[in-house]
Amino acid sequence: MDKPLILIVEDQLSLQEMLETVVERLLNASPARADRAAVVSEKVENLKPVLVIMDTAVPDAIRTIDQLKSNPSTRHVPIIAVNTRGWMTCSEALEAGFDACVGDGNIDRLEEVARQFLSSQRHD
């Protein structure tokens, strides 16, 4: 069975690399990267990831969430907010349309939340 694909949306290279390591090593999934929100909708439609992990501080993150959630072909893809720079609280992220939120640097929590989404998709 192929590994699930997870799209990482992060504009800082060091955080991209850290999230990629989480995806590969802890979640046993294949990572794809986007460094700006403008390309996310297209990547989700073309690559068909099972999950998106997005930094809340990426410019236009909220507009991108709205685009993904209003598109019938992408609205089912869960989006986990990673609140790396504190630009919004997790409550604000959930109100904005993220499906879950993880605080800065909480790798264990990110792994736990991502695994919940991955396992629920395998049972659908």
Mean pLDDT value across the chain: 91
- Provide the 3-class DSSP secondary structure of residue 6: strand
- Among left, alpha and beta (phi > 0; psi -120 to 50; other), residue 74 is alpha
Query: Hey, where are the domains in the chain?
Result: 5-45+69-94+101-123
Fold of 5-45+69-94+101-123: Rossmann fold (3.40.50)
Write out pLDDT tens, residues 86-100: 678 889 999 999 999
Q: Which pLDDT score, from 0 to 100, does residue 1 have?
A: 58
Q: Which pLDDT score, from 0 to 100, does residue 88 have?
A: 84
Say what the pTM is. 0.93
Write out pLDDT tens, residues 41-72: 999 999 999 999 999 988 899 999 999 999 99
Section 32-46 average pLDDT:
94
pLDDT confidence tier of residue 102, bands split at 50, 70 and 90:
very high
Section 15-30 average pLDDT:
94
Question: Which H or E element spans position 15?
Answer: helix 13-21
